[in-house]
Amino acid sequence: MRLDENEGAFTIPEFGKIQFEGFCRFIDQGLMEELHNFPKIEDTDKEIEFSLFGNEYELAEPFIKERDAVYQSLTYYSELYVPARSIRRNSRKIQKQTVFLGNIPLMNSHGTFVVNGIYRIVVNQILISPGIYYRSELDHNRINYIYTGTLISDWGRRSKLEIDVGERIWARVSRKRKISIPVLLSAMGLNLEEILDNTHYPKRFLFLLKKKERWEREEYLWSREKAILEFYKKLYCVSGDLVFSESLCKELQEKFFRQRCELGKIGRRNLNQKLNLDIPENEIFSLPQDVLAAVDYLIGVKFGMGTLDDIDHLRNRRIRSVADLLQNQFRLTLGHLEDTVRRTIHGATKRRSTPQNLVTSTLFKNTFQDFFGSHPLSQFLDQTNPLTEIAHGRKLSHLGPGGLTGRTASFRTRDIHPSYYGRICPIDTSEGMNAGLVSSLSIHAKIGDCGSLQSPFYKISERSREEHMVYLLPGEDEDEYYRIATGNSLALNQGIQEEQITPARYRQEFIVIAWEQIHFRSIFPFQYFSVGVSLIPFLEHNDANRALMGSNMQRQAVPLFRPEKCIAGTGLEGQAALDSGSVAIATQEGRIEYIDAVNITSSINGDTVRTESVIYQRSNTNTCTHQKPQVRQGECVKKGQILADGATTVGGELSLGKNVLVAYMPWEGYNFEDAILISERLVYEDIYTSFHIVRYRIEICMTSQGPERITREIPHLDAHSLRHLDENGLVMLGSWIETGDVLVGKLTPQTTEESLCTPEGRLLQTIFGIEVSTARESCLRAPIGGKGRVIDVRWINRVDDSGDNAETVHVYISQKRKIQVGDKVAGRHGNKGIISIILPRQDMPYLQNGIPVDMVLNPLGVPSRMNVGQIFECLPGLAGNLMNKHYRITPFDEKYEREASRKLVFPELYKASEQTANPWVFEPDHPGKHRLIDGRTGAVFEQPVTIGKAYMSKLSHQVDEKIHARSSGPYARVTQQPLRGKSKRGGQRIGEMEVWALEGFGVAYILQEMLTLKSDHIRTRNEVLGAIITGGPIPKPDTAPESFRLLIRELRSLALELNHAIISEKDFQIDREEV
Amino acid sequence: MIRDKISVSIQTLRWKCIESRAYSKRLHYGRFALSPLRKGRADTIGIAMRRALLGEVEGTCITRVKLENIKHEYSAIIGIEESVHDILMNLKEIVLRSDSYGIREASIYIVGPRNVTAQDIILPPSVKIIDTTQHIARLTKSITSDIRLQIEKNRGYIIHSSNNYQDGIFPIDAVFMPVRDANYSIHSYGSGNEIQEVLFLEIWTNGGLTPREALYEASRNLIDLFIPFLHGEEQNIDGMNNKKGSNMLPFPLSHVLTDTGETKEKIAFKHIFIDQLELPPKTYNSLRRANIHTLLDLLNYSREDLMKIEHLEKESVEQVLEVLRKRFAIDPPRN
C-alpha cells in the first residue's frame, strides 16, 4: 500500500498531468537510463574506443516557438547533445566533444506534440502486465477443466503451460504446437537432478518421464544438445535429421527465448511475487528456475493450492505511457546508432575523425518522425473543442501494438471490472467497434510507478476519526482488502446510533455495514468518472448509455460565436477550461500596460511580459480557436488570473453550448423520431453560429517536363473563375470565394504530343499551325460547400533531407455557419437530434408572458432513453434565467435523502416565481410544467408542457459537410458499381431493401434503370449520355450487368458453369447464350 | 335577443394605454387595452396583432460597413482591443430609429485612444440612435480610424449568403425587429349573453419604436394586408388608395397600369424591382451598380443615360427597353 499523505484539502489533479508527467519521466529518467546503457565501442583492433557520457546529456532550447512550428508546418523539437569521448590507443589521444545526436520532439504545455505542423498526441496504452497468470478453462472438447498458466512477456507475446487430462504438462508455444516440459527445461539448461531437487513435486516429474518411451528418456534427457534439437524440431516443424550446431542454438536463443521470455523489470517483479521467487530485478529474461517454479505452481493449482488469476483485474494491467513508448523508440535508435558507430569506427582508425563524425543525427530524426507519423498510439489530436483535447490526452487504449484488436477482443475484456472504481471511468468509452477498448481515466486517478493506476481515498483513522488522503493501488492486498464507503458520514441517519450504516465496497462486492467498520471513504462523488462525464449535471438520473453519449457528444460540440455559461452545471467547468490551455493566463502579477486583439502586455517593476493571444486560428478539426481579452488596460492582475477567454470559455468556465428555452411537446410531427424544431431567433441572433476554418493545400511538384508553375495566366479558364488571383497566381487575402473559384492558379508542363491529344489542340494545330500551349491547368479550386473568406495564404518552402525543395501553398478559408435544417444539436444527457424545421418566432409556441420557445423536443425521447437528467436540468435553468443565477450541483444527492433532486429544483422555481412576480413559473398543480399557447392560433395547448432552459450545443456533424449528390463519377474496379462515400464522389447504394421498396411500388422501369444504366451496365451507361444530349431514346440494356457477370466468373472458378439457353417451341432447337 | 347583440356592437371600440414604461433605453414596455369586444373577437384580434407585431413591424439597422485597409473581418487592427468581426457585431447591436426608407449613409471618425460608442456616429438627419452608450470598439493606441456605415429600413432579417462586394465592405446580417416580444390576454366580464371581453396587449420593444408606435404600425400593416379583400376580384385598381395594395397585384401589371393616374403608377413602379424584369445577370448587375433598383429608378433614365452607364452595352440597353415596352408598354422618357 502506498501512503501518499497529503494532509487536509485535496485538489483534483490537473487534467493534462498524465501526459506531461509521462513526458517528463522520459526526459528526466528514460533518456539517462538508455544513454547510460550505451556501451563502449571499440574497433576490431582495439585501437579506438568510443563512449558516451550519458548522464551529462543536454537538450537545447528549441529554436522556433511552438506556434511558429504550426504556422510553418515544422516539428517542434529540441536538439539532444551528449558529450562523447574517443580514445586512440596508439597515439594516446583523447578527444572529448559534445556530439549532436538528433532531434527529439517536445511536448508543449497542453500535453501535445507538434509534428510537421500538426498537433499530435500519444495516447496511453493499457495492457496486461508481463508475468504469469493461472486460469482454469475448458479443454477443446468442452468437457474437462484444464489448468493453464499463461506467461506474458514484456512485448505481449504469450506462451502457455498446461496440464491436460492425461496429467501431462506441456508448454504451448503456438495454437498447434506444444512441447513437453522436461524437454523445455533441459533445453533451457537444467538437468534431471536439478529439476528434481528444485521442485516440490518430484514424483510428478518422474511420472511425466515415465510416460515417455524408454529410448526417448535416455536419449535426450541427459544431454542439452538433444533437447535443443528436439525443441527446435517441434518449434519449427522441421522433420528429418538435424545436427546440433552453435548457430542453431543461437537462433533459438534469438527467436524464442529473447522474444518470448523477456519479462522486463515489471514482469520480473510480478513473477517473483507470484511464484515467491527471489531473483534479482535486473534479470529481465525468464530463467529455467522460473519455468520450474511456474510448473510447480501449476501443479499446485491443480491440487487446489494457490490462487487463480483474474486477467481483467486492473492489478494485472499496466499503463504504457508516452514515456515508455518514447523510451522504447529511443532504445531502438540507440541500438541502430551503436551499429553505425561500429561500422564507421572500423574505417575511422586511419582517418582523423572526431566523435561527431562517428555518429549520425538522421537516425533519431527518422525514428521519431516515423513514430509520430505512423504509430497507432500517436494520434491526430482531436481539437474540436478544449474538452476534446483534454479527453483525448486522458484516453486509455487497449488497442495498439502488444494490445488487443477491435475484432478479437472478448466481451469480458470490454466489460467494466470492479477494480475500475475510481481509476477508469465506467461510462466514458467509445461506441461501436471499440466499445470498452478505448476508455478514459477518472478525474482523480493517477499513474504510479510501474504504470499502475492509483485512486485516492480518505483514510478514516480508528482513534481520532481524522481523515487524510491516501492513494490506493488496485488489488487484493490493496483496495479490495479494505471496506471503502461510497459516501460519507453525512448520509448516515444521525439520530439513531444503531442505524449508522452505509453502503461500502469490499472484495469486489457491495455490502452495507456499520460506519465504524469502514476503513476508507471516497473523496468526491465524481471520483469514479472521467472529465466528460463529470460535466453532466444530474448525472445520477441518467441511464449509463445516455450518459456515455452525453459525454461523447460534448466532445463534438463546435465552438460557438459568443459562448454562454451553463446555468445548471457541476462545478468542474472551471478546471476543465483552465487545464485545457485555451484561456490565456497571467504568468506573473502586474499591471496591464497595453492591450489589443493580438497581444496583452503587462509589467511589474519594469519587466514586461507579453502574452500573445490567438485570433481566428484553425484547429486540427477545422474549428476556430480564438481568444478575447478579459482585462482592461491599467488593471492590475494577479498571477494565474485569466487574461483572455478562449473560444469556448466564459469567465474561465468551459461553455460548449447555449442556454435555450426548450419545450417538451410534439409539434405537427416535426419532432418525430428525435427531430428538433427551432425558432428563427437561433438563426438571426447568431445563437448557434460557428466559425470553421478550412485549409486547402496544393503541392508544387517537379515533373519530368520541368517544374510546375504558379501563375495568373491560365489560358484554359475564363476570367470569372480567376478573378480572385493576384499577379502571382495566388488568391488575394480577403476575397470571397464561391464553389469552383480558383484559389491557386497552377500550370503543369506537358509534352506537345500530350497536348495534341485534345481535340481543340489538334484543330488549332491543323488549321492555323499554332503552337498550342504546352501546359495543362492543375489549379486548386474551392470545392462544393467551400465558400467563404480567404483569411490566410501561406507559401511553405521546405527542404527535405534529400535536398529536394518541396513547396506547398496553403489557403485558409473561414466560413461562418449559421444553424440550418439538418444540423445536429445535442444536450449533455445524450439527448441528440437533427433540426427538422426552422419556424418564425411568431409561429413557435409561447409562454404565458409571450416569450416564444426556442426549441421543441419530443417528450417521447425521454422515457425510453431514461435520461431524466435533462428534465431536472431545464427546471433550475428556467429559475436561474429568471433570477440571474447559476447553479453548480454535485451529483448523487439522492443518497442523503429521497427525492433530493426534486426538492432542490422545485423550491428554486418557486423562489423564481416569487422574486420575479411571475406566478406562472411555479404552478402547484403541475410544478415545472406550464400552459403553452400555440403561436399560430392563439389556442392554449391541451396539456401543460415541461419547459425550461436547457444547455444545448451544436455538434460538428453539419449538413454543409455532409450534403452530397452524384450525377456521374468513378466506379469500383471489379464490380463496376459506383463507389461509396462523399470523399470518393460516390453514389447511394440501392440495397436489397430499397429494391424491395421499388418492387413493392411496381416501378419496373425505374428499378431496371437503377440496376443497369445508372449502375454497372457499362455499355448503356456510356450510351445514355449521348442519348440525353441528342434527345434520342434511352438505350435499353439487354445483357446482364457487370456485377452479374462477375458472379458468373466467380462461380466458374468454383467449377460451376452458369449459362442460359432458349429452347424453341417449334423445333426444340437449343439456343445457348454466353453470359 | 337580437336587439341585445346589436346594442353591444353599437358600443364603440376604444383603446387605451394602461401602462407605458421604459425600463432602459433598449427595453420599452407598453400595455394596451381594447374594449368592449364581443365574445371571441378578442382572440381574433389578439392573435392577429401578436403575429403582426412580431412579424410585420419595420426597423432600421446598419447593413453594411466600410472599413479602410482591412482585408477581411477575421483580422485584428493594431491598437484596437476588438477584432474586426467583433466590431461588426457591436455595430449590429446598435438600435436606430429612422423615418425614411432607402439607404442612408453614416460614418464614424475616431482618434484613439478612447472608447468608441454609438455616440460617435455621425448620422444623416432623418436617423437617430436610441442607445448612445452601445459599445463599438476600444482603442488603446493613438490611431485614427474612419468607418462608413450604410443604414437601411426593412422588416424581418437578412442573411447575406454571398457577398460579392468590393474590398473593405462588410455586410452585416441585420435584424430589423424592433418588437422584442408581444403578448395578449383576454378578460371577459358581464354575464349570460352579455359577456364582453377586454383585450390586453403587451408590447416590449427595443426602443427603435415605442410600444405605441409599434401598435400603430402593426395595425396599419395588418390593415394593408386586408385591403385587397375590400375590392372585388379583377376589379379596377382605381379604388386602391394604398401603396401596399399594388404590391399584392399579380404580375404583369400592364393591363392594369395603362389607365391609372400618374402618381399611382409611380408608386407602383417603386415596388417593382428590376430583378423581376428577368434581365440577364450582366445587365442586371450593371444596373444595380448604377444604383437602379426599382422600375421607378429605371424610368428616371433615358436611353442616352442608360448608354452612359458603365459596363452597359448597347445591346443590353436595347434589351432593357424591349422588356419595358413588352411588359409595361412604357417608353423611356426622352431628354
Residues on chain B touching A787 (C-beta within 8 angstroms)? 162
Interatomic CA distance for residues B221 and B175, integer angstroms: 19
User: CA torsion angle for A861, A862, A866, A870 (degrees, to 10)?
Assistant: 120
Cis before A563 (ω within 30): no
Tell how far CA A476 is from the center of its chain.
31
Q: Are residues B291 and B303 in the same domain?
A: yes
Tens digit of each residue's pLDDT (9 = 90 or more) over A880-894: 999 999 999 988 888
Q: Using CA coordinates, name the residue in chain A closest to B171.
A: A736
Residue A259: predicted pLDDT: 67
Residues on chain B touching A595 (C-beta within 8 angstroms)? 81, 140
Q: Are residues B190 and B163 in the same domain?
A: no
A52: β partners: A84
> Of B10 and A1003, which is predicted with more confidence?
A1003
Give kind and range of the element (H or E) at residue A900. Answer: helix A900-915
Chosen domain end from B129, B156, B173: B173
Q: Give the residue among B290, B289, B248, B256 at the shortest CA–CA distance from B272.
A: B248
Cis before A863 (ω within 30): no
Residue B257 included in any domain:
no
Average pLDDT, chain B: 80
Strand ranges (DSSP E) for A442-515?
Answer: 446-447, 453-460, 467-472, 484-485, 501-506, 509-514
Interatomic CA distance for residues A267 and A305, integer angstroms: 22
Residue A462: predicted pLDDT: 63
State whether residue B93 sits within 8 Å of chain A by CB. no
Q: Are A426 and A432 in contact (CB under 8 A)?
A: no
Interatomic CA distance for residues A180 and A207, integer angstroms: 13
Residue of A615, A787, A935 with shortest CB distance to B83: A615
Residue B240 included in any domain:
no
Residue A1061: predicted pLDDT: 83
Q: Are residues B183 and B52 in the same domain?
A: yes
Domain that holds residue B127: 58-173
What's the burial of A657, exposed, middle or buried (CB within 10 Å: 0-12/13-18/19+)? buried
> Of A464 and B275, which is predicted with more confidence?
B275
Yes or no, beta carbons of A791 and B167 under 8 Å apart: no
State whether residue B305 sits within 8 Å of chain A by CB. no
Residues on chain A touching B165 (C-beta within 8 angstroms)? 736
Residues on chain A touching B184 (C-beta within 8 angstroms)? 850, 938
Q: What would the DSSP string read from start to end of A501-555?
A: EEEEEETTEEEEEEGGG--EE-S-GGGGS-TTGGG-TTGGGB-HHHHHHHHHHHT
Q: How confident is the model at residue A223 (pLDDT cuts 50, 70, 90)?
A: low
Q: Using CA coordinates, name the residue in chain A closest to B52.
A: A842
Q: Using CA coordinates, name the residue in chain B closest to A633.
A: B140
Cα angle A315, A318, A324; round to 5: 160
Interatomic CA distance for residues A307 and A287, integer angstroms: 22
3-state helix, strand and coil shares in percent for chain B, rounded to the nearest 5: 35, 30, 35
Yes or no, beta carbons of A596 and B81 under 8 Å apart: yes
Residue of B80, B157, B181 with shortest CB distance to A596: B80
Residue B22 included in any domain:
yes
Q: Are residues B52 and B184 in the same domain?
A: yes
> Of A155 and A522, which is predicted with more confidence?
A522
Yes or no, beta carbons of B47 and A938 under 8 Å apart: yes
Residue B7 included in any domain:
no
What's the burial of B10, exposed, middle or buried (CB within 10 Å: 0-12/13-18/19+)? exposed
- Which whole number is the average pLDDT over A454-477? 71
Residue A231: predicted pLDDT: 74
Interatomic CA distance for residues A601 and A610, integer angstroms: 4
Chosen domain end from B173, B192, B209: B173
Q: How far is A984 from chain B (nearest CA, A)?
A: 27
Yes or no, beta carbons of B55 and A629 under 8 Å apart: no
Residue A751 pLDDT > 70, yes or no? Answer: yes
Yes or no, beta carbons of B76 and A598 under 8 Å apart: yes
Q: Which residues contact A73 (CB under 8 A, 6 or more apart)?
A: A116, A117, A118, A796, A798, A808, A810
pTM given for the model: 0.84
Q: What is the CATH number of the domain that holds B132?
A: 2.170.120.12
Q: How confident is the model at residue A122 (pLDDT cuts 50, 70, 90)?
A: very high
Interatomic CA distance for residues B152 and B100, integer angstroms: 9
State whether residue B166 sits within 8 Å of chain A by CB. no
Residue A4: predicted pLDDT: 45
Question: Which 3 state secondary structure label does DSSP give A424?
Answer: strand
Q: Using CA coordinates, name the residue in chain B closest to A847.
A: B183
CA distances from A634 to A591, A595, B195 (A): 6, 9, 67
Residue A442: predicted pLDDT: 93
Give kind and range of the element (H or E) at residue A878. Answer: helix A869-883
Strand ranges (DSSP E) for A139-181?
Answer: 145-152, 158-163, 169-172, 178-180
CA distances from A484 to A312, A445, A463, A509, B111 (A): 21, 16, 17, 11, 67
Interatomic CA distance for residues B146 and A441, integer angstroms: 54
Residue B241: predicted pLDDT: 47
Residue of A594, A691, A848 with shortest CB distance to B140: A594
Residue of B163, B175, B184 with shortest CB distance to A685: B175
Q: How far is B279 from chain A (nearest CA, A)?
A: 19
Q: How far is B89 from chain A (nearest CA, A)?
A: 10
Residue B252 included in any domain:
no
Residue B9 pLDDT > 70, yes or no? Answer: no
Q: Which residues of A760-790 are buried (b: 16+ CB within 10 A; e: fewer)?
A: ebeebeeeeeeebbebbebbbbbeebbbbbb
- Which whole number is the average pLDDT over A275-294? 81
Look at A631-635, A926-930, A992-996 and tell me which has the smallest mean pLDDT. Answer: A631-635
Q: Are residues B160 and B183 in the same domain?
A: no
Q: Are residues B29 and B64 in the same domain?
A: no
Decide the pairing of beta strands A509-514 and A855-857. Answer: unpaired
Q: Give the number of residues written for chain A.
A: 1075
Q: Using CA coordinates, name the residue in chain A closest to B51.
A: A842
Yes or no, beta carbons of B202 and A791 under 8 Å apart: no
Interatomic CA distance for residues A119 and A123, integer angstroms: 13
- Which whole number is the average pLDDT over B50-73? 89
CA distances from A959 to A419, A679, A825, A834 (A): 42, 18, 12, 10
Q: What percent of chain A has pLDDT over 70?
A: 91
User: CA torsion angle for B295, B300, B302, B306 (degrees, to 10)?
Assistant: -70
Residues on chain B touching A598 (C-beta within 8 angstroms)? 76, 78
Q: How many CB pairs under 8 A join A and B?
A: 96
Residue B256 pLDDT > 70, yes or no? Answer: no
Q: Give the residue among A322, A355, A393, A378 at the shortest CA–CA distance from A31.
A: A322
State whether residue B217 sits within 8 Å of chain A by CB. no
State whether residue B79 sits within 8 Å of chain A by CB. yes
Interatomic CA distance for residues A821 and B224, integer angstroms: 33
Q: Are residues B64 and B167 in the same domain?
A: yes
Q: Which domains does chain A have, with CATH numbers?
A: 14-125+320-390 (3.90.1100.10), 128-210+219-316 (3.90.1110.10), 403-490+498-532 (no CATH), 560-565+653-685+819-952 (2.40.270.10), 583-644 (2.40.50.100), 689-815 (2.40.50.150), 986-1063 (3.90.1800.10)
**CA dihedral sign, ordered A887, A892, A893, A899:** positive
Q: How far is A873 from chain B (nearest CA, A)?
A: 25
Yes or no, beta carbons of A840 and B43 under 8 Å apart: no
Q: How far is B302 from chain A (nearest CA, A)?
A: 31
Interatomic CA distance for residues A247 and A422, integer angstroms: 52
**Cell reading at A305:** 493450492
- ipTM value greater than 0.90: no
Q: How far is B223 from chain A (nearest CA, A)?
A: 18
Q: How far is B85 from chain A (nearest CA, A)?
A: 10
Residue A742 pLDDT > 80, yes or no? Answer: yes
Q: What is the CATH number of the domain that holds B20?
A: 3.30.1360.10
- Which whole number is the average pLDDT over A556-563? 93
Interatomic CA distance for residues A69 and A121, integer angstroms: 16
State whether residue B47 sits within 8 Å of chain A by CB. yes
Residue A837: predicted pLDDT: 95
Tell how far CA B131 is from the center of its chain.
20
Residue of B54, B159, B183 with shortest CB distance to A841: B54
Of the ranges A240-244, A576-580, B292-296, the best mean pLDDT one: A576-580
Q: Are residues B114 and B159 in the same domain?
A: yes
Q: Are A832 and A826 in contact (CB under 8 A)?
A: yes
Decide the pairing of beta strands A1060-1063 and A945-954. Answer: unpaired
Q: Are A149 and A159 in contact (CB under 8 A)?
A: no
Residue A1021 pLDDT > 80, yes or no? Answer: yes
Interatomic CA distance for residues A1036 and A564, integer angstroms: 60
Q: Are residues B133 and B31 in the same domain?
A: no
Q: Are residues B139 and B195 in the same domain?
A: no
Yes or no, beta carbons of A851 and B163 under 8 Å apart: no
Residues on chain B touching A842 (C-beta within 8 angstroms)? 50-51, 54-55
Interatomic CA distance for residues B150 and A455, integer angstroms: 62
Residue A352: predicted pLDDT: 63
Q: Are residues B268 and B306 in the same domain?
A: yes
Residues on chain B touching A612 (C-beta within 8 angstroms)? none
The total number of structural domains in chain B stands at 3
State whether residue B218 sits within 8 Å of chain A by CB. no
Residue B257: predicted pLDDT: 41
Residue A222: predicted pLDDT: 56
Residue B205: predicted pLDDT: 93
Q: How far is B309 from chain A (nearest CA, A)?
A: 21
Average pLDDT, chain A: 85
Residue B246 included in any domain:
no
Q: Are residues B151 and B125 in the same domain?
A: yes
Residue of B76, B89, B162 with shortest CB distance to A615: B76
Residue B245: predicted pLDDT: 42
Q: Are A646 and A630 in contact (CB under 8 A)?
A: no
Tens digit of each residue's pLDDT (9 = 90 or more) over A367-383: 888 999 999 999 999 99
Residue B234 included in any domain:
no
Residue B253 included in any domain:
no
Residue A212: predicted pLDDT: 55
Look at A235-239, A387-391, B25-29 and tell me which has the smallest mean pLDDT. Answer: A235-239
Residue A940: predicted pLDDT: 93
- Which whole number is the average pLDDT over B39-52? 91
Yes or no, beta carbons of B173 and A686 under 8 Å apart: yes
In the sheet that holds A599-604, the strands lie side by side as: A607-612, A599-604, A590-595, A636-637
Tens digit of each residue's pLDDT (9 = 90 or more) over B133-175: 999 998 888 888 888 999 988 888 888 876 666 677 888 888 9
Yes or no, beta carbons of B183 and A595 under 8 Å apart: no
A159: β partners: A151
Yes or no, beta carbons of B79 and A814 under 8 Å apart: no
Neighbours of B288 (CB within 10 A): 13
Residue of B175, B177, B183 with shortest CB distance to A850: B183
Q: What is the CATH number of the domain that holds B312?
A: 1.10.150.20
Q: Side-chain half-sphere of A874: how many Cα atoms within 13 Å?
A: 30
Residue A220 pLDDT > 70, yes or no? Answer: no
Yes or no, beta carbons of A597 and B80 under 8 Å apart: yes
Tens digit of each residue's pLDDT (9 = 90 or more) over A764-809: 667 766 656 677 888 899 988 888 899 999 988 877 666 677 888 9
For residue A623, what is the DSSP state? Answer: B
Residues on chain B touching A848 (C-beta within 8 angstroms)? 183
